[in-house]
Amino acid sequence: MQNSMNGIQQYVGNFTLSAKNADPANWEWKAEYKARWNLAESHWQTFCETWYGVPESQPVDSKSPSLSLEPLPRRIDDSISSTILVRNSYVEMFDTIWARSIKTRGRHGVIVTGQSGTGKTLFNYYLLIRLLRLKQVVLFSPEGNQVYLFYHGEVYTNSMEALTAVSVDVPFPDPISSSNAFIWSLFDIQEPDIFLVSHPCFPVQTTSPDPRRYSLWRKKQRPLLTGLPLWTRDELLQGLQYQVEYPELLDALHNLVYGRSSLNLRDPLKPYYGARAILEERYGGKDIAPPSLEDAVDCLLDAVIDRFGYSARGVFGAVFD
């Protein structure tokens, strides 16, 4: 493991190849190819403008733990926040993928697996933000129906159906042959269409551990197979504050702890049946409230972890049930 980490660290901060990717002079996009794409919606353009070329003045780690997806719509679930908690494992996975791209000169990709609720989809957006900061050319298909092309500060879009119907050349920008540039191809779907994993694309797939989702292209392209770990308790505690319903739940708990002593009198937790049941069981019935707000949150978190394990999706869903 130590040798593996040393191998990754030697590529961290190596921007020679990425600088070639970022240079418009190393790319050619035929007019007839470009004409087959549409400019993406305004929220995609604004998102790109927000992050494109923004220097990383500080390491992206637990000291600066969140990144915003605004103004993108919540495509995953209406209850999921538009803020990404930057887990340490996200930073480490980025370094692994970055090292792989340099070591193979963009020829072999990466498959990132993980159990349900480990944050694979949000990691895909995190990876996109990091790449936009480095001005990379990126294909992004978060749902499988639509493809977004981030190309030198602008975002274009096309349907997956239209791109798969192309019988000869897929209408991508072409890297100048002497540049060794490549397109980052990020997707979160089942077995991908060939154009997402073929040269000049460096594919990164985030998916469940089910081999049927990636067996064909894995056999052909020999990508690195790796995975994200489950969340830690500290990460789950941090992640709670980024959930959409958290402010309302916290307000209800505050009223319970400091505003009234009874869970039964004008119950502030009425919208949160599961949380109410957990606190009643822990603190001895309907007439006893938690001694502090921190105790209430800790009690809820520990109870749902005990039942659902360390899957963020399961834990956050249960807390707000």
Say how far apart CA 116 and CA 85 lie, in whole Å.
17
Report in angstroms the alpha-carbon separations of 207 from 106, 236, 267.
20, 21, 42
Q: What does the pLDDT read at residue 64?
A: 52
Q: Which helix (H) or strand (E) holds 67?
A: strand 66-68
Q: Give the residue extent of every domain in the chain.
A: 3-227, 233-320
Task: Tell me: pLDDT of 4 over 60.
Answer: no
pLDDT digits (tens, 9 = 90+) for 239-276: 999 988 899 999 999 888 887 544 555 678 888 888 88
Residue-averaged pLDDT of the chain: 87
pLDDT at 124: 95
- 138-141 and 146-151 as β-strands: parallel, antiparallel, unpaired? antiparallel
- Given a contact cutoff of 8 angstroms between Cβ atoms, the answer to whether 109 and 185 are in contact is yes
Whether a cis peptide bond, with omega within 30° of 0, leads into 71 is yes
Q: Is the pLDDT of residue 9 over 80?
A: no
Stretch 193-219: mean pLDDT: 92
Whether 77 shows a pLDDT value over 70: the answer reads: no
Q: Give tens-digit pLDDT for 159-180.
A: 999 998 876 788 999 999 877 8
CB 60 within 8 A of CB 86: yes
Let me know: does 171 contact 36? Beta carbons within 8 Å.
yes
Q: Which amino acid is at 286?
A: K
State the pLDDT confidence band at 291, using cuts at 50, 70 and 90: confident
Please report the pLDDT score of residue 15 as a whole number: 75
pLDDT for the residue numbered 61: 46
Q: Using DSSP, state whether 111 is helix, strand or coil.
A: strand
pLDDT given for residue 1 in this prediction: 47
Query: Which residue reads 């944050």 in tokens?
Result: 119
Task: Choose between 109 and 277: higher pLDDT.
Answer: 109
Q: What is the structure's pLDDT at 41?
A: 97
What is the reported pLDDT for 315? 93
Instruction: Say if CB 44 and CB 155 are below 8 A apart.
Output: yes
Q: Is the pLDDT of residue 210 over 70?
A: yes
% of the chain beyond a pLDDT of 90: 57
Structure tokens at 93: 């996975």
Residues 32-48 pLDDT 10s: 999 999 999 999 999 99
- Whether the predicted pLDDT of 26 surpasses 60: yes
Asked if the model's pLDDT at residue 130 lies above 70, the reply is yes
